[in-house]
């Protein structure tokens, strides 16, 4: 019996039972069976997996691939089987690499299901029994206790000191106190529904009786699962993927246009169809950088290995560069910026004296401080595990750690004889304990300052102001007071007056080590940081200020305020883009925030560790999950995982991402420059009435083997060390801009002119067309090596050695030379490529021509560096 349209938190427990036609003794087995047939099992839908063959075939969906496939088919039509074999071999290799990466299956849906345990304790027909969690149905009455995970959405019926950990669900760092007796407004957000339990959370302390209201897809966990699926279906591609896709379309369009124009001109001149087809194939091969996917994959894989050494685990290779391109990090607070563990960080004594944690850890203790710490250990229900660590309520664990840090014997404090106890209840707002110390007893009280101060003597408005100032800094404040008496002096409640205030303790979820510096470095690198949390706005603002964010009350927006703007898209976008801190947000709102930021032009990296972060991690340009404290859902939805859960590690990732972008830019620049030289070489030769300078097979040899070896080595560059001193590059123009054209064109034009001159000169000397092409192939290889040497570092001249020099590039040059020597001397390759050894004089000509290309490229580079410095000097003056 599903009733998902009800706001269960707005009903009393009795009304919820009546609506569900249930009773506290539980459903009968027959009723449960009927409802299971009606509602279905309590589990999330299975995700359909894509088969390897389908993934492999999907790799061919690319304009460049279409063009090369067409060229391969034309080669078969005209009988050039070797050309076709080369073309199809290159395409297959690229497809295998792409499929291998994609087959790293995304397990986010399965991770969601794993959060729901297998067994639940339910009442059926008046008898308590254990059933499989997938057999739970609406109306089942479930018994819960400390340590039990919640298996479905439930309305509380009864509770005894119930506290629930919802940190992975709502982002709230502290356990939530639940109350069955409360009846809430229908519009209450999920994070504040204190009379409800949700699937995927767990009971920290206390006991409860609850009735199941929603199961499986109808639960809040099911809503997140659907949102995650929707995010996956409409999520935009990683920035690098978008840029490379645009670049591929542009190259394909240019190549097709050139082929059509030249084909039409040749047809008008009366050229044979076979010659036109051969030219079309050659131009397609020359224009398309078929080795680009391999080179980029190598660059990304190399960067992924470096990032792993810096605790950034890469799940999607393009995200390596994407992190460097991000302009804004939308960070979760709990478990990301903070450690997700309560600690006592500050103490305020009744005199107003403040003591920070660093002070009591490094200085001798005053008697007042020691007394306060001992009281914190006595009025405490935490226990010591076998290994000696405290376990129990997060607040009690923090207080027991505080007692230990201040010299308290926690074993003695935990084992102390407690004559009577008043456990903490939200309605009381305090807890108390009466401990036996032989001739006297000590009564210790802890709780809300205003409640405890009312039990104390010699306190006034100034004393309460001390606590309020501490709370204003984002601390959760508890007051501790004590009284004394003789054993047998009556019930503890008779002692809760005329107490002596010991002081106030401020608890907080502390910032991670190095996170303040990391936020500052992000700001220096041109990357904005915003915080999205389920915590209270005051807590969130205090954390933001500790982080050094320029946040004030106006820059904090709550989930409730965003909900009010849900129907005003423009107003919602303005509020999101003008805010730095988002508090009390729900999962769907986090997703909407990310969308609004992306629509505003940001490349957004989202961090998170909980179930509630899954949809936003999937939708964001770059999703970053926590590896240690994060859930499987978050890790499954993310592109990157931080092995140390430290926000500061993101800065290292940004640096590596920018190094990778620079490497990929060099790869693209190298491939397009050499490809442009090859195309111009064909156009110039044909316009002068000469035959094609190279065959299609020779071009494939050049582009895949020789060229491929060279450009791949550019992916091993380690950067110049100043990557974080520049703003992020996030547009297509950043790959191929005016600066890139300045570097490319002089060398490309020079390579074209010399290659065509060699072709013409060889033919004029009576060489056969095969011999002439053999010479052209060799000189083009030397040109490419020279050009690579010129652009290996875009800031230093080619003769200067850079400290983290890319040694693999020089290995690649040597391999390219050896391969070309093999092509001219190995009989099989000679027959295949129509090559043979050349005379010594021509080798000297190749070396001289390569030096000229290198010098021209160097002149262009130096001129460009001068222009960039002039622009940098001019901008501050005009700002």
Residues serving a catalytic function are: 332
Length of the chain: 879
Tell me how far apart the alpha carbons of residues 204 and 556 are, in angstroms, rounded to a whole number. 30
What CA–CA distances, in Å, run from 846 to 222, 414, 857? 67, 85, 16
CA 571 from centre of chain: 28
Please, where are the H alpha helices in 792-839?
A: 807-825, 827-833
Question: Is residue 862 packed enough to be buried (19+ CB in 10 Å), middle (13-18) or exposed (0-12)?
Answer: exposed
Tell me how far apart the alpha carbons of residues 403 and 395 are, in angstroms, rounded to a whole number. 12
Q: What is the DSSP string of 277-319?
A: HHHHHHHHHHHS-TTHHHHHHHHHHHHHHHHHHTTEEESSTTH
Tell me how far apart the alpha carbons of residues 461 and 377 are, in angstroms, rounded to a whole number. 28
Tell me how far apart the alpha carbons of residues 222 and 453 are, in angstroms, rounded to a whole number. 45
Residue 446's DSSP bridge partners are 431, 480
Contacts of 617 (CB under 8 A, 6+ apart): 606, 608, 623, 624, 625, 634, 637, 638
Inter-axis angle of helices 63-77 and 273-287, nearest 10: 150
What CA–CA distances, in Å, run from 621 to 275, 570, 607, 866? 47, 22, 11, 35
Q: What is the DSSP string of 247-260?
A: HHHHHHHHHHHHHH
Q: What is the dihedral of CA 348, 352, 353, 355, to 10 degrees?
A: 20
Contact 562, 592 (CB under 8 A): yes
Tell me how far apart the alpha carbons of residues 505 and 709 are, in angstroms, rounded to a whole number. 64
Contacts of 278 (CB under 8 A, 6+ apart): 78, 80, 692, 696
The neighbour count for residue 555, using CB atoms within 10 Å, is 16
| Rounded (5°) CA angle 825-831-835 | 50
Contacts of 213 (CB under 8 A, 6+ apart): 3, 6, 8, 16, 20, 138, 152, 153, 154, 155, 196
The H or E element spanning position 346 is: strand 343-348
How many helices (DSSP H) and strands (DSSP E) are in the chain? 33, 24
Both tokens of 14, joined, read 């009795």
Name the 3-class secondary structure at 644: coil
Tell me how far apart the alpha carbons of residues 621 and 324 are, in angstroms, rounded to a whole number. 11
What CA–CA distances, in Å, run from 536 to 166, 313, 428, 706? 14, 32, 22, 60
Tell me how far apart the alpha carbons of residues 595 and 60 are, in angstroms, rounded to a whole number. 30
Q: What are phi and psi of 459, to 5 degrees?
A: -125, 155
Name the 3-class secondary structure at 387: coil
Q: What are phi and psi of 536, to 5 degrees?
A: -65, 145
């Amino acid at each position: 019996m599903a009733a998902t349209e009800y706001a269960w938190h707005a009903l009393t427990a009795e009304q919820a039972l009546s609506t569900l036609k249930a009773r506290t003794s539980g459903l009968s087995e027959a009723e449960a069976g009927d409802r299971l047939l009606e509602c279905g099992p309590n589990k999330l839908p299975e995700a359909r997996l894509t088969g390897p063959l389908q993934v492999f075939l999907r790799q061919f969906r690319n304009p460049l691939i279409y063009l090369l496939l067409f060229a391969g088919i034309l080669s078969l039509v005209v009988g050039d089987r070797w050309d076709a074999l080369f073309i199809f071999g290159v395409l297959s290799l690229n497809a295998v690499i792409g499929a291998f990466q994609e087959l790293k299956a995304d397990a986010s849906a399965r991770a969601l299901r794993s959060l729901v345990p297998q067994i639940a304790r339910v009442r059926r027909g008046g008898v308590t029994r254990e059933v499989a969690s997938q057999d739970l149905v609406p109306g089942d009455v479930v018994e819960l206790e400390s340590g039990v995970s919640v298996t479905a959405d439930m309305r509380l019926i009864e509770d005894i000191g119930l506290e629930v950990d919802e940190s992975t669900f709502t982002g709230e760092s502290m356990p939530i106190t639940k109350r069955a007796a409360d009846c809430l407004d229908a519009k209450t957000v999920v994070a504040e529904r204190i009379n409800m339990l949700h699937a995927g959370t767990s009971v920290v302390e206390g006991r409860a009786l609850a009735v199941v209201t929603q199961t499986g897809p109808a639960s809040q966990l099911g809503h997140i699962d659907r949102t995650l699926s929707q995010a996956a279906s409409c999520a935009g591609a990683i920035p690098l993927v978008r840029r490379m896709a645009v670049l591929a379309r542009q190259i394909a369009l240019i190549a097709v246009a050139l082929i059509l124009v030249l084909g039409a001109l040749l047809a008008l001149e009366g050229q044979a169809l076979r010659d036109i087809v051969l030219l079309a194939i050659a131009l397609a091969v020359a224009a398309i950088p078929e080795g680009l996917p391999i080179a980029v994959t190598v660059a990304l894989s190399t960067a992924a290995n470096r990032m792993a050494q810096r605790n950034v685990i890469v799940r999607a290779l393009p995200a390596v560069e994407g992190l460097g391109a991000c302009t804004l990090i939308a960070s979760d607070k709990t478990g990301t910026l903070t450690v997700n563990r309560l600690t006592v960080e500050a103490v305020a004594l009744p005199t107003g004296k403040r003591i920070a944690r660093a002070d009591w850890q490094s200085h001798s203790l005053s008697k007042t401080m020691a007394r306060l710490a001992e009281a914190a250990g006595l009025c405490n229900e935490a226990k010591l595990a076998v290994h000696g660590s405290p376990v129990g309520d997060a607040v009690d664990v923090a207080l027991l750690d505080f007692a230990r840090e201040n010299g308290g014997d926690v074993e003695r404090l935990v084992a102390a004889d407690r004559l009577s106890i008043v456990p903490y209840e939200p309605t009381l707002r305090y807890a108390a304990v009466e401990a036996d110390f032989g001739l006297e007893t000590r009564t210790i009280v802890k709780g809300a300052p205003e409640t405890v101060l009312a039990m104390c003597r010699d306190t006034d408005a100034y004393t309460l102001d001390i606590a309020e100032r501490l709370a204003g800094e984002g601390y959760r404040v508890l007051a501790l007071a004590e009284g004394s008496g003789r054993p047998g002096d009556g019930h503890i409640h008779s002692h809760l007056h005329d107490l002596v205030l010991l002081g106030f303790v401020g608890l907080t979820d502390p910032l991670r080590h190095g996170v303040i510096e990391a936020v500052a470095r992000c700001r220096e690198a041109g990357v904005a940081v915003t915080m999205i949390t389920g915590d209270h706005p005051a807590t969130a603002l205090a954390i933001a200020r500790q982080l050094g964010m320029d946040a004030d009350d106006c820059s904090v927006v709550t989930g409730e305020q965003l909900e009010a703007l849900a129907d005003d898209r423009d107003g919602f976008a303005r509020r999101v883009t003008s805010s730095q801190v988002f508090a009390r947000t729900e999962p769907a709102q986090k997703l909407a925030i990310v969308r609004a930021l992306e629509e505003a032009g940001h490349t957004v990296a989202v961090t998170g560790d909980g179930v509630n972060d899954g949809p936003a991690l999937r939708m964001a340009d770059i999703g970053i999950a926590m590896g240690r404290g994060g859930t499987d859902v978050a890790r499954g939805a993310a592109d990157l995982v931080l092995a140390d859960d430290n926000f500061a590690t993101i800065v290292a990732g940004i640096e590596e991402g920018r190094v990778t972008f620079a490497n990929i830019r060099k790869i693209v620049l190298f491939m397009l420059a050499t490809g442009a030289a090859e195309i111009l070489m064909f156009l110039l030769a044909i316009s002068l009435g000469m035959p094609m300078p190279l065959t299609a097979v020779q071009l494939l040899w050049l582009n895949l083997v020789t060229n491929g070896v060279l450009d791949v080595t550019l992916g091993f560059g380690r950067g110049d060390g100043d990557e974080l001193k520049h703003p992020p590059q996030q547009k297509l123009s950043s790959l191929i801009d005016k600066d890139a054209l300045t570097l490319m064109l002089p060398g490309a034009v020079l390579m074209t002119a010399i290659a065509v001159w060699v072709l013409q000169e060889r033919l004029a000397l009576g060489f056969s067309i095969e011999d002439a092409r053999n010479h052209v192939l060799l000189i083009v290889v030397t040109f490419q090596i020279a050009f690579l040497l010129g652009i290996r570092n875009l800031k230093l001249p080619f003769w200067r050695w850079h400290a983290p020099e890319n040694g693999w590039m020089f290995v690649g040059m040597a391999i390219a030379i050896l391969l070309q020597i093999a092509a001219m001397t190995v009989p099989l390759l000679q027959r295949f490529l129509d090559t043979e050894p050349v005379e010594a004089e021509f080798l000297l000509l190749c070396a001289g021509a390569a030096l000229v290309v290198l010098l021209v490229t160097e002149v262009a580079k130096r001129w460009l560096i001068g222009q960039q410095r002039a622009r940098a000097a001019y901008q501050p003056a005009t700002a």
